[in-house]
Structures are given as C-alpha cells and as structure tokens.
Structure 1
Amino acid sequence: MTMSTDTIRETHTPPMPTSAAAGEESPHAQRSELQAMAQEHLLMHFTGAAAYTEAPPVIMTHGEGCWIEDETGHRYFDALAGLFCVQVGYSHGEEIGEAVKSQMMQLPYYTNWGVAHPSAVRLASRVADLAPEGLDRVFFTSGGGESNESAIKLIRQYHQARGEGTRTKFIARRVSYHGTSYAALSINGMTNFRKPFEPLMHGVRHVSNTKRYMRPAGETDEQLTAILIEEIESLILQEGADTVAGIFVEPLQNAGGSLVPPAGYCQELRRLSDEYGVLLVADEVISGFGRLGEWFASTRFGLRPDIVTFAKGIASAHVPLGGMIASSKVVDTVLNGPAKMYMHGLTYGGSPSACAAALANIEIMEREDVLANVRRNEEHFRTRLESLLDFDFVGDVRGAGYHFSIELVTDTDTGRWTGPIAAEDFVHDHLTPALHQAGVLCRVAVDHGGTPLVQFSPPLIMTAEEIDWLVERVQEVFTEVAPLLTA
C-alpha cells in the first residue's frame, strides 16, 4: 500500500485489547466499570470509532520510573514518555505535587494580564537562563499548540510595528506537526489533519523536510543543505520577500520519524532569515527540555532562532504548561508599535500552580543530572537500535538523543513498502498488538510515503539496562511478525 507524499497517518496508537474471537464473549461483556464509562462518556483524542464500540480502551492507573501499569496489573515500558513529555518519569509526582500544594495554599490562581506573581516571574527568569543565547522574554501558555499560535501572533505584530504589514505568509516543512488550533493547524505539514477543517489561515507554504533516507547515494550533508536552502530561498523570492513573515521548523522533526538536520542547514536558515527579514521560529515542544541532551535542541544544532516555542517537558507533563521565548528585539519592537502591547492573552497562561510544578521539575532534572544521562546513553541507544537493521524489513534507524525512529520497508532497494500485507493492516492488526503484548508502548504509524514507523522517545531517566531490555523486546516482536512479510 502506498500513500501520496503529502498525506500521512501519524497518530499515536494506544494499547488496545484485541477483539474477542468467534464463540468467545464480546469485549463489552468483559469490560470493567471504568472501560464502560470511558466508552459511554469520554471522547478520546485522535481515537478511532472502534474504541467506543468494540475492544474498550486500556485504563492506565499507576506509574513508576519509566513504567506504567493498567487496571489489570499489566506493566508497560513507556518508550514514548506519554506523548514525548514525561521527562523525569513517573516517580516524582509527590515532590512536584508538594510544590503545587504549597503554591495552592499561598495563591491558587492569578492572571498574568497586567500583573505578575512570584512563580511565573521566577520560572520566566529560569527559562531565559536555559534558553539559547539572545532569547530572554518568556510568554506562558497551556500547551504546544497555544505556544505556536502565540508565536504567529507575535510575528504578525512585529512586522506591522515595523511598517511591513504585507508580511503575512509563513513557511513550514512537509509532514511537520505544530498543533491543532486554527493558526497552528494551518502551518502543519500533515495534510490529512488539515483537510477536514479547511479553509484555514491563508498564505502558508510548505517545503521539503530533512529526511535523508533514500536520498541519492553519495550525497553529502553540504549538498543536501544546498538543495533544501535553495528551495526555501526560491519560494521566498517567488512569493515576494516583503510578504513572508516567518519560518517554522522543529530542530529535530518528530513527524516523519526523527528527522535530523544536515550539517550547515541551521546556519543557512539563519542567514536566509536575516537576508530577507523573516523571523525564524524553532518549535521545541518535543525537542526542548532535555530530549536531545541539551535544554534546547536549537543549542545542539546551532539554530539561533528569533523565537522558541515549548511545552511538554518543561513540567514533565505533570501539569499543562507551554510558552514561547523571544528576543528583546522582537518583543520591544511590538511593545513600541501602534498597539503599545502584545495583543494576546490566555486565562491559564502562567498559572501559579503550573509554574510551581515546572520549577520543581527543572530542579529535579538538574539534581538527577538528567541531561547528562541522555548524553551518556545516546550512542548505546543508537547502537542497540541499529542492531535491528539485521532484519530484512528494517530500512533505516535515525534520530538523536532520546528520540529515535525505525522505518520499515519490504523493498530495501527502493525504500518502499510493497507487501505482501498492506502497511496499515500490518501496523494495526499485527505489529501494534505484538508490541503491547510484549509490554512496549511506543509510536507505531504509517508514514507519508506508506512505510511503517516505530518511534521511541522515552523518559530521559531511561538507563542503559532499560535500553537493552527495550531493544530485546522489540527484537522478539520483529522475529514474531517477520513471517508475515514472506511472500
């Protein structure tokens, strides 16, 4: 099975019990009280209709370290850190909860509209200390989509304040994911997510991403960078440089499978942005707060953005929190513009309890030396995963830090999935259930080119021993499903 190159099925597949076989009791007869309530009342995120009518959803109840447990007592290794976000794992809830409790006892809520409060001030200062050089103004949101929405508004106001109101267009990359709210959804490069809600924000253009797999043999990083940058520059000139407002990139692109930039690419993005007066945004909702062994992946790759958006890892997802970090140059231009303010606000942005949780989370990450753990184990993680290339259907292993993807193909000469079983059937009916049965939670998807992806982005506390356990379980699963791919 193949899919067009501008569509993608990249949803995270949650663990699901298999449907009852003929002659057995129906799943509804076996479901727990919580499962019944979930099917009847809880509208789950990106969840297929079958979860409400057939096999009921798994109910997760406990967590410790990198492991979580469902209501039946079955344990899973969470190789996706929830949704790329539980940096410190599941054993620090009491400590972070105490920080939240203390804040709740002092000031449970107040707004950042025209006033401030200690936890938001302290967290803003802390984030500015950790941010890439030159970024020092922090605006808080409730999550990643809101953060990218906020950046789009800031960029539009920035250009208006400079007397360049014609700059309304944005450039992003194909297969990129930036959120589900109106403007954030508009810059998504995953067209199947956008299509049901179009028309969206006008003026968004998409360019090639940095995927290296199946590029021409012998092509160097420098050659690929030149091709990619020339494409962006040509688009800017075609659209008219005076109409382009911003460029959004993930330093390591998640959707499409752990896509790392080639050498020189980030530096050339900075050059292009400066030359044509375009603001450069690093979407670090996933890659920020230690995922690649640095507080921000922009630092690792030398991206030097004008704005960084973040969420997820700042509080290890113990509370909803996100934000953006911008340079004073950008913010002061807006504050000195016609409106004399940044015209945006959110009820829960900078919530005192959320900021208290984030401050506690950062303290834990520093105390436990979490970033060093990622750097220490990165090559071991890569090497163990690359051992899976011994399977005929593993085409590529790629990524960095604690974010890796495996691309599965049945034709290694073309890098495509050609059968004998359809990719979506293989993923949904065989690979996903086998991984869940083995106690492995990860992302299993069908990529924009029709090839299955298996993605790992575990808690940043994962040890070398847990890496070995994880890869051994995946080896067992791949051995189990391999016969299905023999014509």
Structure 2
Amino acid sequence: MFAKHHSLDPVEIAQVDKRHVLHPWSDLKTMHTEDPLVLAEAKGIHISDAEGNRYIDGIGGMWCVQVGYGREELIVTMAEQARRLCYYTPFGAMANVPAAQLAQALAERAPGDLNTVSFATSGSGAVDSAIRFAHFYFNCLDQPSKRQVIVRMDSYHGSTYLTASMNGKRRDWSQFNYARELVHFLPSVNAFRRPKGQSLEDFANEKVADLEAMILELGPENVACFVAEPIQASGGVIVPPEMYLPRCLEICRKYDVLYISDEVVTAFGRLGHIFASKDVFGITPDIITCAKGLTSGYIPMGATIYSDRLIKAISGENAVDHPYFTNGFTYSGHPVAAAVALKNLEILEGDGILEQVRDTGPYFQAELQKLRDLPIVGDVRGMGLMACVECVVRKIGAEPGEADMAVAARVDAHAQERGLILRPFESLCILSPPLIVTTKDIDRIVSILRDSLIATQNDLIAEGIWSPLARG
C-alpha cells in the first residue's frame, strides 16, 4: 500500500530518497548519508521545503523556470490539453494540433531560414538529434568522412552517451565511457583565465584561430560540425569576446562545417529575447537546439530547429535511397508539452517579460559587479539574467586547489541558511533566477550573496585554509 506524499514527514521522505533515488551528479560516497533538501511548494520566485523554510530560487530550477512557479495559465493549459488529447504517436504521418502550431511558432521566431523543427524531451535529446542530423546530412551528400565534432572546454551539451562526450567540464569526466574518437575540444574562451598581460583582442583572435587550426588539423573533409553555447552556462557563465561567435561562423562557412548553436539555456528570455543567436550575438546558425525555458520547466520538452538550406539538400528530389530520418522519441512533440510551450511563449511575449529582462538584466549585472570588493571574489561575469561569481582562494594565476573545488558549496550552504539557493560548482557561484525577478528581489539576492561570501571568507581564515594576502 503506497502512502500519499503529504502523509510522510520530511525526515521520512529524506530517508526514502536516500534509499531509492539515484540523483543526477550524485556523489556515490555520500549518497546514502547526505540528507537532501526536501522541497514541497513553490510560488513566483520562491520555493519552500517540507519544513516550511522559504528560499529565493536563485537558479530558476535549472535555468528553466522563466515565468515563475504556480502560473495558473500553464497549469490550466496542461489539464485542458490532457483532457482533449493526452498523447498519440508522433511517428510517421501523424500530427497533433499543438505540436504543429508550436513548430510554426518556433520557426517564426528563429533567425534566417531555420524553419523545420524536430522535438525531443530534453536539451540533451535536442543536441543529440542535432549531431545525428549532421552525420545523416553529410552521409546523404556522399561525404561520410565528415563526422568529427568540435566543441570547447567548459562546455556542457547534455547527458546522453554522445552529448556527455561533448562536455568540456573536466570535473564531469567520471568513470563512464565517452565517444572520444568523435569529439575534439578547443581551449576555453574564458577571458578571466587568459595569460597575464594578454589583451582581450589578442585573446579573441587566438580563440578564433584555435577553431580554424582544429578544422585544418582534422581535415575539413572530416569535420561535420562546431557546437557552441552562445554563453557557456554551467561551465561558468562564460561570455565570449565580442565578435568571437560571428567570426567562428565565418570559419565554419569557409570549410563547410555546420554551425550548431546550443541555446538550451540562452533561449526563451534568459537574455531578453526568444533566441539569442541573432538578436544578441549577430549569428544565424545552421541549427539551433533549445529546451529548458521552452516550457518554463513545467513539463519536459526540447526542440532542434534546422535550416531550410540543409533540409532542401537532402529531401524531395534530392533524397537518397532509403531516405528515412530514423531519429525521434516516443514523446516527440507530446501534445501536452507542446500546448504548455505555446502558452509559455504567449506569457513571455504578452506579459512583457522579455522587455522586463532587458531592463532588469543590466541592473542584475551591475549590482553583482559590486561584489568585486570582497577578497574572495576573483571575477563577476554574465549577461541578462545569468551570472557567475567566481571565487579565488588560491593565488591568482596558480592552478586550482582543493579549497577552490569546494568553496562554492560553502557559499551555497551559507546562502541557504539566509534564504537563497545558488548553483555551486567548484569555485563558481552561478545564478539564473526566474525572469519575473524584480529589482527589489535582485537587491535581496545580492545582499544574501554578499553576506554568504563574507561568511565563507571568515570560515576559511578561521580554519587556516586561506589568507586574503595569498591572492597576489
């Protein structure tokens, strides 16, 4: 007999979770001993745990709860569509109304001639589909050697076998196997870590040259695609140097390499636009991948959007023998998810949320920059409503040590005590609040973060782990 969820107390839920749930990125040393934070309710930008403690959700769930929690329009849309048509197979010549309408809506908002959409259930699935399409495309054009994939260090592209192989975060490389024969990593474009004395212009030129050099080293006849997040999100909110992305696109065009813009995080308002590739960074890629904010996290969905140029080259009279694109998922274009996504787009655009982000984003960034006066803060970077405060415990310029690897978790623990949830990764304190956040909310976020950074400094000094004088 199963107990109803509300009949179990937080301690019991935590025990059940530790016994039965294998979470993403679990530490297997502590998974049976470390108590999880048991969440129970959420509204607006706040979440509450099962004990009634309330927190500002500083990471928007996982970069995705754009319009905030508890939006009745999305909840009602979900229920109404489930009553009307909860599911039907997407395979073959089977269409459902909201999925077709959503594909049209995405095509209308995507840049250039990106007009054909395939659906997935996640960002990982969307990126995986994009890579499979790139291979399929060149095979159809009788160029089967064009299969190598170029990505960058500090990238994150997903958690399927293929997309996990494309992740450039070294701390994520674990005891799994990876498709290393297909994937090649360029050096990071994190300007904070450039050599001392190197200008930003020289750094940008070097990073662009890295891409061309990699293509030439592998041979253009062997390279299928270059995959890049406009801003590298979970790798540390790394904003590329100005004109870096347009110049990379030019190089891809020069060598017939497909440019895939991974907008799983940056799309749907995070930077104040539905898509950031063209509107923010001035590029029209061959393929865009998206997910997360597509449904504001209310239901899983991802999408891959393809250029007409690519589709035309391999379809209709140009199709090869056995022309079937055998890629997709049971829940591709799920009607309930598609209906929610359509309503989410309506809210983002109709409620002025995109314009609000374009107003609050600069304020958010400016207030966070004020944290640079703290000795523990090495860098503050970001754009729109995504940001990273990078802590430095080691001497600047030295290799990261164990203290750096754990410092953000310390900051997050202090922040939770004060009512704010961050996303800690190594020395990175990452923020991506719901897009409905106000300037008053931002003031509270920055105030809590400042207090938490100071508390962490004091802990490290008291424990003899660090002295601000060692930064250099």
TM-score by length of 2: 0.91
Question: Do structure 1's residue 84 and structure 2's residue 66 form an aligned pair?
Answer: no
Deviation at 1:219, TM superposition (A): 4.3
The alpha-carbon deviation at position 270 of structure 1 amounts to 1.4
User: Where do 1:8-27 residues align within 5 Å?
Assistant: none
- Structure 2 distance, partners of 1:415, 1:407, is 15
Instruction: Give the partner amino acid of 1:396.
Output: D
Paired position in structure 2 for 1:340: 323
TM-superposed deviation, 1:184: 0.9
Residue 305 of structure 1 aligns to a residue whose secondary structure is coil
Asked if structure 2 preserves the Cα contact closer than 8 Å seen for 1:409 and 1:415, the reply is no
Structure 2 counterpart of 1:378, one-letter code: G
Give the structure 2 partner of residue 119 of structure 1: 98
In the TM superposition, residue 163 of structure 1 has moved relative to its aligned partner by: 1.6
Letter of the 1:119 counterpart: P
1:103 aligns with 2:81: yes
Residue in 2 that maps onto 1:449: none
Aligned residue in 1 for 2:445: 470
1:309 alignment partner in structure 2: 289
Deviation at 1:411, TM superposition (A): 5.0
Structure 2 residue corresponding to 1:155, chosen from 130, 134, 145: 134
Helix, strand or coil at the partner of 2:411: helix
The alpha-carbon deviation at position 56 of structure 1 amounts to 2.0
Q: Could you say which residue in structure 2 is the equivalent of 1:10? A: none
Q: Structure 2 vs 1, CA of residues 193 and 444 (structure 1 numbering), >3 Å: closer, same or farther?
A: closer
Match of 1:406 in 2: 389
Deviation string, structure 1 residues 43-72 (Cα, Å, up to 9, x no partner): 222222465432421211111110000110
Give 1:320 shift: 0.4
Q: Distance in 1 between matches of 2:117 and 2:24?
A: 29
Show the 5 A alignment for 1:436-447.
Answer: 436-446=416-426
Tell me how far 1:112 sits from its aligned partner: 2.0
SS at 2:259's partner residue? strand
1: CA distance, partners of 2:25 / 2:178: 21
Q: Which amino acid aligns with 1:360?
A: K
Gaps of 5+ in 1: 1-29, 447-451
Q: Which of 415, 419, 428 pairs up with 1:435?
A: 415
8 Å Cα contact 2:161-2:178 kept in structure 1: no
Is this contact kept in 1: 2:59–2:434, CA < 8 A?
yes
**Which AA in structure 1 matches 2:39?**
M
Contact 1:251–1:303 under 8 Å retained in 2: no
Q: How does 1:279-290 map onto structure 2 within 5 Å? A: 279-290=258-269
Give 1:143 deviation, angstroms: 0.3
Cα drift, residue 392 of structure 1? 0.9
Is 1:207 matched up with 2:190? no
Q: 1:381-460, aligned counterparts within 5 Å?
A: 381-410=364-393, 413-414=396-397, 422-428=403-409, 430-446=410-426, 452-460=427-435
1:298 to 277, 293, 299: 277
Q: Distance in 1 between matches of 2:240 and 2:91?
A: 38
Do the aligned partners of 2:59 and 2:431 also contact (CA within 8 Å) in 1? Answer: yes
Contact 1:207/1:231 (8 A) holds in 2: yes
Letter in 2 for 1:162: L
Q: Within 5 Å, give how 1:157-176 maps onto structure 2.
A: 157-176=136-155
The alignment status of 1:39 with 2:18, answered yes or no, reads yes
Offset at 1:485? 3.8
CA-atom RMSD, angstroms?
A: 1.9
Question: 2:214 matched to 1:232?
Answer: no
Q: Between 275-284 and 35-44, report the one with greater CA deviation.
A: 35-44
Q: Cα distance, 1:165 vs. partner?
A: 1.0
Contact kept in structure 2, 1:171 and 1:248, CA below 8 Å: yes
Taking a change above 3 Å as real, the CA distance of residues 350 and 426 of structure 1, as seen in their structure-2 partners, is same
Structure 1 residue 391: Cα displacement? 0.4
Which of 425, 431, 436 is equivalent to 1:461? 436
Output the CA distance in 1 between the equivalents of 2:368 and 2:399: 20
1:342-361 to 2 correspondence within 5 Å? 342-361=325-344
Amino acid at match of 2:90: N
Quick one: which amino acid aligns to residue 102 of structure 1? Answer: E
CA contact (8 A) 1:146 1:181 kept: yes
Are residues 1:484 and 2:466 paired?
no
Q: Distance in 2 between matches of 1:153 and 1:361?
A: 28
**3-state SS in 1 of match to 2:435:** coil
Percentage of identical aligned residues: 32
Q: How many residues align?
A: 449
Contact 2:391 2:407 in 1 (8 A): no
- Residue type at the aligned position of 1:437: E
Q: CA deviation at 1:265?
A: 1.0
Per-residue CA distance 1:186-243 (angstroms, 9 max, x = gap): 2221244344222426221100232111424564443222211111111111111100
- Alignment partners' CA distance in 2, 1:325 and 1:309: 6
SS at match of 1:90: coil
1:260-290 deviation digits (Å, cap 9, x = unpaired): 1212211111111111000000011111111
Q: Tell me if structure 1 keeps the 8 A contact 2:65–2:293.
A: yes
Shift of 1:329: 1.2
Deviations 1:82-120 (A, max 9, x none): 11010011030x321211222122211112212211100
Q: RCO greater where, 1 or 2, for CA within 8 Å and sep 6 or more? A: 1
- Cα separation, 1, equivalents of 2:342 and 2:16: 35
Partner of 1:17: none
Could you report, residue by residue, the CA deviation over 1:2-60 in whole angstroms, capped at 9, with x for unpaired residues? xxxxxxxxxxxxxxxxxxxxxxxxxxxx9622222212222222222465432421211
